[in-house]
Amino acid sequence: MIKTLNTLFVTMFGLGKIPKIPGTIGSLATVIILYIFFHVLDLSSNVILLGLIIIFVFSFSAVALHIKDNENKDPKEIVIDELIGQSIPIYLYEISHGSEKLPDEAIIFYGVCFVLFRFFDIAKPFPVSFFDKNFKNSFGVIMDDICAGFYVVLSLICFMVLSSYLI
């Protein structure tokens, strides 16, 4: 029973078991879930942050339990790390500047975050590759996606700074 619940958690209720592109599916599901939370249900950013922190903390032990008897220490079915990494730029966008975000503007931004996150998660620039190659445990599984999420944030900040000089 506990192993089944754990598998449901790390695979985001089975999304990670989809045979083709499970990481992309997990990232897309995260984008949709966060859009619903922020723009349809209008949940408080503090409630969403609390949920993300709980998922983040619990994911270390859940992933460790899932890979304990597995030769592959980063199996494709684990997509909870995509939820954590993809949530970073979207959450920071939603709380930035305390301004009201229009749903149409948010859809475009969420799409950009999705594409950039998948790029950095697949391309694995340093330090994403460092965590992916050197930590064959739950820490490595999760931290490479966290780094990819922060690369998205850094890319968007660089774009905003550069565009402010060009306009």
Question: Which residue in the block uniquely carries the two structure tokens 């599901």?
Answer: 29
pLDDT digits (tens, 9 = 90+) for 145-154: 999 999 999 9
Quote the domain boundaries for residue 21: 2-166
Both structure tokens of 92: 């920071």
- Per-residue b/e over 44-69, b at no fewer than 16 CB within 10 Å? eeeebeeebeeebeebeebbbbbbee
- Predicted TM-score (pTM) of the model is 0.92
The total of other beta-carbon atoms located within 10 Å of residue 19's CB is: 7
* Rounded average pLDDT over 42-58: 97
Cα separation, 92 vs 15, whole angstroms: 25
Cα separation, 33 vs 39, whole angstroms: 10
Phi, psi of 68 (to 5 degrees): -50, -50
Count of structural domains, the chain: 1
pLDDT digits (tens, 9 = 90+) for 93-135: 999 866 677 888 899 999 999 999 999 999 999 999 999 899 9
Q: How many whole angstroms from its chain centre is CA 125?
A: 16
Percentage of the chain beyond pLDDT 90 is 83
